[in-house]
Amino acid sequence: MIRILTITGICLISTLLAQEVAPATSPAPTRVVLRALPLGGDDDIASRPLVEDLPATAVTPIEKAIPLETVSESSPPEVKPTGDDAVRLQIFLDESMFGPGVIDGKPGLFSQLAVKSWNEVNGHPLDDWYHVNTAAREAVPNPFATALVPELAKEWINPRLPTKKALQAELKRMSYRSYAEFMSERYHTDVPYLIVLNGSSKINKLKPRDSLIVPNVTPFYIEKLSGVMYKPDEAMSARHIVVDTKMNQARIFEAAPAALIVAEPGAEGAPVLTRPNRGLIASFPITPGKPQFIRYGNWTLRNMIELPYWRYDQQLLETGKRGKDSLNIPPGPNSPVGIIWIGTSRSGIGLHGTSDPETIGRARSAGCIRLANWDAIRLPSLIRPGASVEIR
């Protein structure tokens, strides 16, 4: 008998499917199927294979990036850095779980918000640059590395990936469109910055076993995703996440004390911190949904599912009301919901990845909260179902 997990949606996601339903004449699938209910709730939750219950499996050897020694003129530590120091700072913030957005050597708004979060945790003035730059230079001596395009990338590339939803629904996976896209997301950057580092001729002709220069950051290994559902955890389920749709940032806090959840950095009337705020453990840039679909308030995280299917319902996206016609778009990095879905107790509202990390903070989804895939996949290591979420 197929066990069913139901999720509803009115955001960019309308409904998620964990695996396609087999035809009646086919053998019963061995994986759990995630299907849709009409709008109104997702109370009848069974499960996909839980992450802690999966058997250990062999992992394909992963090519490791080799740090490069670089020589560049240092920028003053008391100001926003430039050059190699800017990349170094972005990598340091990313590794510290304060996401700076795309690593591109151009620290903008998201890098500045990440600096404020780091300063808040460490008890420095929010606009201070000296301490974070000093820490970054010590922690990241080599901001660049040489990486190889792994052989396994072939399994994740489809240069003919269609743009029409009807054609996408016929595929098994929403793959990357190029090796350049695969490698840019792997190293938390974008294709234009890989071109800056390596030249357009090389990047446009990438193939397996080619080497290229990348930011020296912990890679996002998409091949490690197995489509599991994450179950509650005593410590992580007690945490709290604040999704600020005005500041475009999600901030994760320990469970207590509640008083440590202070006003967002830079807000009018925000307190001047006189001690480290150890309650703040991470922050990531986000893109909120359209105002007419966003549901502000306090909710609870209900489920976390890797590699979700997406139920494409044009009427739902436009009006918030379910239509009769829909398509099931397969999972993958170029799925509109990215590589993970994190649903809340507010039906249809959740956090998820994206097919376009460079648009985080700019383009809006229909109703949910988008993060870059490399940030979204880190959330299960920080929060779990049962955690509280405030959308404001």
- Establish if 380 belongs to a structural domain: yes
The verdict on 107 and 159 lying in the same domain is yes
Q: Are 194 and 201 in contact (CB under 8 A)?
A: no
Q: What is the CATH number of the domain that holds 377?
A: 2.40.440.10
The verdict on 93 and 213 lying in the same domain is yes
The verdict on 347 and 207 lying in the same domain is no
What does residue 281 show for φ and ψ, rounded to 5 degrees?
A: -115, -15
Question: Of 56-60, 100-104, 130-134, which range is least confident?
Answer: 56-60
- Establish if 97 belongs to a structural domain: yes
Residue pLDDT, tens place only, 289-299: 777 777 789 99
The verdict on 143 and 181 lying in the same domain is yes
The verdict on 131 and 247 lying in the same domain is no
pLDDT of residue 197: 97
Domain boundary among 159, 194, 224: 224
Quick one: average pLDDT of 68-87? 90
The verdict on 146 and 189 lying in the same domain is yes
- Establish if 206 belongs to a structural domain: yes
- Tell me: pLDDT of 39 over 70: no
For residue 216, give the nearest of 84, 97, 115, 119 by alpha carbon.
84
**Can you tell me whether residue 372 is helix, strand or coil?**
coil
Domain boundary among 168, 191, 224: 224
The verdict on 201 and 108 lying in the same domain is yes
For residue 8, give the nearest of 363, 308, 347 by alpha carbon.
347
pLDDT of residue 24: 38
pLDDT of residue 263: 55
The residue count for the chain: 392
Q: Are 215 and 328 in contact (CB under 8 A)?
A: no
Dist. CA 186–CA 351, nearest whole Å: 20
For residue 83, give both structure tokens. Answer: 């050059």
The distance of Cα 198 from the centroid of its chain, to the nearest Å, equals 26
pLDDT of residue 368: 86
- Tell me: pLDDT of 19 over 50: no
Burial class (CB within 10 angstroms; exposed 0-12, middle 13-18, buried 19+) of 235: exposed
The verdict on 166 and 300 lying in the same domain is no
For residue 133, give the nearest of 144, 121, 118 by alpha carbon.
118
- Establish if 19 belongs to a structural domain: no
- Tell me: pLDDT of 313 over 90: no
- Establish if 167 belongs to a structural domain: yes
Burial class (CB within 10 angstroms; exposed 0-12, middle 13-18, buried 19+) of 205: exposed
Q: CA dihedral in degrees (68, 185, 223, 311; nearest 10)?
A: 170
E-state strands within the chain? 4-6, 33-35, 66-68, 144-148, 211-215, 240-244, 249-253, 280-285, 297-306, 310-312, 327-329, 340-344, 350-352, 369-370, 388-391
Show the DSSP H helices in 187-237 as ranges.
Answer: 191-198, 200-204
pLDDT of residue 54: 43
- Establish if 270 belongs to a structural domain: yes
The verdict on 257 and 211 lying in the same domain is no
Question: Of 2-11, 137-146, 310-319, which range is least confident?
Answer: 2-11
Domain boundary among 165, 192, 224: 224
Entry pTM: 0.83
Give 267's pLDDT tier (boundaries 50, 70, 90). Answer: low
The verdict on 219 and 299 lying in the same domain is no
Quick one: average pLDDT of 132-153? 97
The verdict on 148 and 209 lying in the same domain is yes
What's the total number of domains in the chain?
2
Q: Are 373 and 352 in contact (CB under 8 A)?
A: no
Dist. CA 41–CA 139, nearest whole Å: 46
The verdict on 147 and 83 lying in the same domain is yes
Q: How many CB atoms lie within 10 A of CB 239?
A: 23
Give 349's pLDDT tier (boundaries 50, 70, 90). Answer: confident
Q: How many CB atoms lie within 10 A of CB 257?
A: 9
Q: Which domain holds residue 135?
A: 63-224
- Establish if 106 belongs to a structural domain: yes
pLDDT of residue 35: 29
Burial class (CB within 10 angstroms; exposed 0-12, middle 13-18, buried 19+) of 300: middle
For residue 278, give both structure tokens. Answer: 């150890």
- Establish if 162 belongs to a structural domain: yes
